[in-house]
Amino acid sequence: MVIADELAKKQKAISIAEFFEKNRQILGFDSGTRSLLTSVKEAVDNSLDACEESGILPDIFIKLENTSKTNLTLIVEDNGPGIVREQIPRVFAKLLYGSRFHAVKQSRGQQGIGISATVLYSQLTSGRPVKIISKIDRDAPAHYFELLINTQTNEPEILKDKIVEWDRLRGTRIELEMEASYAKGRRQSVYEYLKDTAIVNPHARITFIEPDNNQVIFDRATDKQPLQAVEILPHPHGIELGTLMKMLRYSESDKLESFLRTSFSRIGAKTAIDICTKAGISPETDPKNIALDEAKRLHEAFKRAKILAPSTDCLSPITEELIRKGVGKEHIVDFIETTTRPASVHNGHPFLVEAGIAYGGKLSKEDKVEILRFANRVPLLYQQGACAITHAIENLSWRTYSLNQPGGSIPIGPAIILVHVASTHIPFTSESKEAIADVPEIIAEVELALKDVARRLKLYLSRQDNLEKRREKEEVINVLLPRIAKKVGEILERPTPDIGPIVAKIMKNVFCQRVINQNGNGCEVEIRLKNHGDSTHHFNVHESLPCSIGSPSPAPKIIPVGTQIDHVWKISLKPGEQKAIMYQIEMNADEAAKLPQLVVEGIESELITGAKAVNV
Residues in the chain: 616
pLDDT at 371 over 70: yes
Residues 6+ away with beta carbon under 8 Å from 76: 40, 43, 44, 47, 60, 61, 62, 63, 173, 174
pLDDT at 534 over 90: no
d(CA 391, CA 443): 8
pLDDT at 285 over 80: yes
241-304 has which fold? Answer: Helicase, Ruva Protein; domain 3 (1.10.8)
Domain 336-462 carries which CATH code? Answer: 3.30.230.10
Q: What is the mean pLDDT of residues 391-405?
A: 89
pLDDT at 101 over 50: no
Q: Is the peptide bond before 554 cis (omega within 30 degrees of 0)?
A: yes
DSSP H or E run through 476: helix 440-492
pLDDT in tens, 137-172: 988 999 999 998 887 887 888 999 999 999 889 999
pLDDT band at 75; cut points 50, 70, 90: very high
- φ and ψ of 50, to 5 deg: -65, -45
Alpha helices (H) in 305-362, listed in sequence order = 320-330
What is the predicted pLDDT for the residue at 111?
47
Beta-bridge partners for 514: 527
**pTM of the predicted model, to two decimals?**
0.68
d(CA 533, CA 603): 13
3-state secondary structure of 360: coil
**Burial of 560 per CB tally in 10 Å (0-12, 13-18, 19+):** exposed
For 290, half-sphere exposure in the C-beta direction (CA atoms, 13 angstrom radius) is 34
Domain 500-614 carries which CATH code? Answer: 2.60.40.2960
pLDDT at 18 over 70: no
Of 399-408, 474-483, 516-525, which range is least confident? Answer: 474-483
Domain 16-218 carries which CATH code? Answer: 3.30.565.10
Domain boundaries, the chain: 16-218, 241-304, 336-462, 500-614
